[in-house]
Amino acid sequence: MATIRGEEGAVQFSASGGTNATVVGTRSWSLTLTKDTLETTKQGDTFKSYIGSLVEGSGSVELVYDPDAAGQAAFLEDIITAADPADASFELFTKGTSSGTDSAVFTGIITSMEITSTVGELNVVSCDFQTSGTVALNLE
C-alpha cells in the first residue's frame, strides 16, 4: 500500500485559464464534491430508489503568505474580479506537479479570501473556491 504524505501536494492556478503556474507557499488544500440525487420510486415499490444527478464542488487552499512567491498574487487577486466568468484554471495535486497525474483539474472561481497576521506567527491566507463545469479526477 502506497502512503502519500500531505507535503507532497501542490496547487497550480491561472486566473484566466492560461497556463497554470505553481502557487508557491501552499500549506494545504481541500476539495469536496457532492452529487444531487433524484428519487425514482414508483407507486407499489417497497423501497425508495434513486439516480445520481448534478455534481458540484467546492474547497479551500491555505497559503503561507509571501508577496514575492510565484503564483500567489494572481491566485489571491482573483477574488477582486467583480464580473468573474469563473474561468480560472485549477489543478490540485496529491503528489508532484505532473499535469494530469495524481490531481483534480477544473475551472472555477475564488469566492472568499482571508489573510491573517498574528504576532509571533506566519502570515497565512485562506481562499475558498467553487468549481464551475467538469471536474476531472486523475487519482490513479
Domains identified in the chain, total number:
1
Q: Is 95 exposed, middle or buried (0-12, 13-18, 19+ CB in 10 A)?
A: middle
Range of the domain at 61: 10-31+54-138
pTM for the whole structure:
0.87
Residue 107's region, left for phi above 0, alpha for psi from -120 to 50, else beta, is beta
Within-domain flag for 39: no
CATH of the domain at 84: 2.40.10
Residue 78: CB partners within 8 Å, gap ≥ 6?
15, 84, 88, 109, 110
Within-domain flag for 97: yes
Within-domain flag for 1: no
**Tens-digit pLDDT profile for residues 72-128:** 888 888 888 878 888 899 999 999 899 999 999 999 999 999 999 999 999 999 999
